[in-house]
């Protein structure tokens, strides 16, 4: 095979095998040019919701290309973006009445951080501190790395990152400690915003915390005039069992970030939703108070059309029932490992399941990670453990029998890893 010029993400090319070439996708499967099918058990990094090449979305993309391509979004607008914005406002937690479109999850969070800082500066209260949660991950741009956990992901870039205040993860039995830290850090009026992944931390290890903690964090931020940014890039679009995770806490943040499942995973698109108050803080005859952010592909019409089709699927099809069934199936299959000594912290929320394999050296760089990946791929399964953390986050079209196959492979992999 000819040597590839590509540099792949999160890939150590010196020691990892050559990437597998995919020639076709359909439903829950990836297919190589020679016909090998691989079950996509992680939704291709959590983006595919209904299934690969979902017909209604693909048809919407095809139709949109007949009349539109990229349009500068400063001073111009178009129907797919207008329709999408109205739909998002109607679907999101109440009060999020403004929609800023961008092109990736990281960018949507970066936009949210800039909105928060601009809000305080423009209202005469120039707060600058950001409060983050331990173990969190919000993206790979400079701002989003700054508000994420410090470690192997970003050690080389530490000189570029700004300081933040960190609250402990609300582990079972330590929830009040987390809330006490939020209270203490917001008391002096210097904190511009608290940013959290609602209910479950993704790349930080699929760590889950209860909805009442999120509700209490919201109560504290409201009392102290601190904005709450909910990073729903991964948790949105049904992953935790509801359309948005914030619904389970009965809260509406000041700013909500969404991407990944926004287009059903078909095309890159992101949105940052904000309250009218955040928007009005940037509304002025003083042009210096403009919200200064854009990218070349802001509100790409083709991507917006895909997102509008996705919204229609949620409106017209029994997606909630599919999510509920998958959530139930995941819980049932996790239960077989609940008391298994090979695993720790067996957990799940909605369509997400995770369990920690007990190994001598845990963590993201655990040797078990690449070995597990290779083991699963040999069996036609795409599972990409976070070190020793095995998680299953499939598209909603997966069948019960396919889940059985996945969990049987996890069982077998644990035996091999534990030397049985």
Residue 2 has pLDDT above 90, yes or no: no
For residue 96, list its beta bridge partners.
275
Strands (E), 197-335: 200-201, 207-208, 227-231, 255-258, 270-275
Q: Is residue 20 part of a domain?
A: no
Distance CA 379, CA 33 (A): 17
Residue 333 has pLDDT above 80, yes or no: yes
Q: Is residue 312 part of a domain?
A: yes
Q: Is residue 103 part of a domain?
A: yes
Per-residue model confidence (pLDDT) at position 279: 98
Per-residue model confidence (pLDDT) at position 418: 72
Q: Is residue 351 part of a domain?
A: no
Q: How far apart are the first and last CA of the chain?
A: 37
Domain around 156: 58-283+296-316
- pLDDT band for 417, please (50, 70, 90 cuts): confident
Residue 58 has pLDDT above 90, yes or no: yes
Residue 363 has pLDDT above 90, yes or no: no
Q: Is residue 288 part of a domain?
A: no
pLDDT digits (tens, 9 = 90+) for 153-202: 899 999 999 999 999 999 999 999 999 999 999 999 999 999 999 999 99
How many domains does the chain contain in total? 1
- CA atoms 89, 94, 98, 104: torsion sign: negative
* Mean per-residue pLDDT over the chain, rounded: 96
pLDDT digits (tens, 9 = 90+) for 236-261: 999 999 999 999 999 999 999 999 99
Q: Is residue 218 part of a domain?
A: yes
- CATH number of the structural domain spanning residue 269: 3.40.640.10
Q: Which of 274, 273, 241, 251 is nearest to 353 (CA)?
A: 241
SS3 state of residue 36: coil
Q: Is residue 358 part of a domain?
A: no
pLDDT digits (tens, 9 = 90+) for 196-233: 999 999 999 999 999 999 999 999 999 999 999 999 99
Per-residue model confidence (pLDDT) at position 419: 62
Per-residue model confidence (pLDDT) at position 1: 57
% of the chain with per-residue pLDDT over 90: 95
- pLDDT band for 70, please (50, 70, 90 cuts): very high
Distance CA 218, CA 150 (A): 25
Q: Is residue 76 part of a domain?
A: yes
Residue 130 has pLDDT above 70, yes or no: yes
Distance CA 203, CA 312 (A): 29
Per-position DSSP letters for 378-411, written without gaps between them: HTTEE---BTTEEEE---TT--HHHHHHHHHHHH
Mean pLDDT of 270-288: 98
- CA atoms 90, 93, 98, 100: torsion sign: negative
Mean pLDDT of 131-150: 97
Beta pairing class for 343-349 and 352-357: antiparallel
pLDDT digits (tens, 9 = 90+) for 370-390: 999 999 999 999 999 999 999
Residue 97 has pLDDT above 90, yes or no: yes
């Amino acid at each position: 095979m000819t040597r590839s010029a590509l540099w792949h993400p999160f890939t150590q090319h010196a020691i990892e095998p050559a990437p597998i070439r995919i020639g076709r996708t359909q439903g829950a499967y990836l297919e190589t040019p020679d016909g090998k099918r691989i079950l996509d058990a992680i939704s291709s990094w959590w983006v595919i919701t209904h299934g690969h090449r979902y017909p209604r979305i693909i048809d919407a993309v095809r139709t949109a290309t007949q009349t539109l391509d990229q349009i500068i979004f400063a001073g111009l607008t178009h129907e797919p973006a207008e329709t999408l914005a109205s739909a998002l406002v109607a679907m999101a937690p109440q009060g999020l009445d403004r929609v800023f479109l961008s092109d990736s999850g990281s960018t949507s969070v970066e936009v949210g951080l800039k909105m928060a800082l601009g809000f305080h500066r423009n209202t005469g209260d120039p707060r600058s501190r950001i409060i983050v949660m331990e173990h969190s991950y919000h993206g790979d741009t400079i701002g989003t790395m700054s508000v994420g956990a410090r470690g192997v992901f970003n050690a080389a870039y530490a000189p570029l990152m700004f300081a933040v205040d960190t609250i402990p993860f609300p582990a079972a039995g330590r929830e009040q400690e987390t809330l006490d830290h939020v209270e203490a850090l917001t008391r002096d009026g210097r904190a511009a915003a608290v940013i959290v992944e609602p209910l479950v931390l993704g790349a930080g290890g699929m760590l889950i915390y209860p909805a009442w903690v999120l509700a209490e964090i919201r109560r504290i931020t409201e009392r102290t005039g601190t904005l709450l940014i909910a990073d729903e890039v991964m948790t949105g679009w049904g992953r935790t069992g509801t359309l948005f995770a914030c619904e389970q806490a009965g809260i509406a943040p000041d700013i909500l970030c969404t991407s990944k499942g926004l287009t059903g995973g078909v095309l890159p698109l992101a949105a940052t939703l904000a309250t009218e108050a955040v928007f009005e803080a940037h509304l002025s005859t003083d042009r210096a108070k403009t919200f200064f952010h854009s990218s070349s592909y802001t509100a790409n019409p083709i991507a917006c059309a895909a997102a509008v089709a996705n919204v229609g699927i949620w409106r017209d099809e029994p997606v909630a029932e599919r999510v509920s069934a998958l959530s139930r199936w995941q819980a049932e299959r996790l239960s077989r490992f609940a008391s298994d000594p090979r695993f720790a912290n067996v957990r799940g929320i909605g369509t997400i399941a995770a369990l920690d394999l007990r190994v001598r050296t845990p963590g993201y760089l655990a040797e078990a990670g690449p070995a597990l990946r290779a083991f699963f791929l040999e069996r036609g399964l795409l599972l990409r453990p976070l070190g020793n953390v095995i998680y299953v986050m499939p598209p909603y079209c997966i069948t019960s029998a396919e889940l059985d196959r996945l969990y049987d492979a996890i069982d077998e992999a644990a035996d091999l890893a534990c030397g049985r």
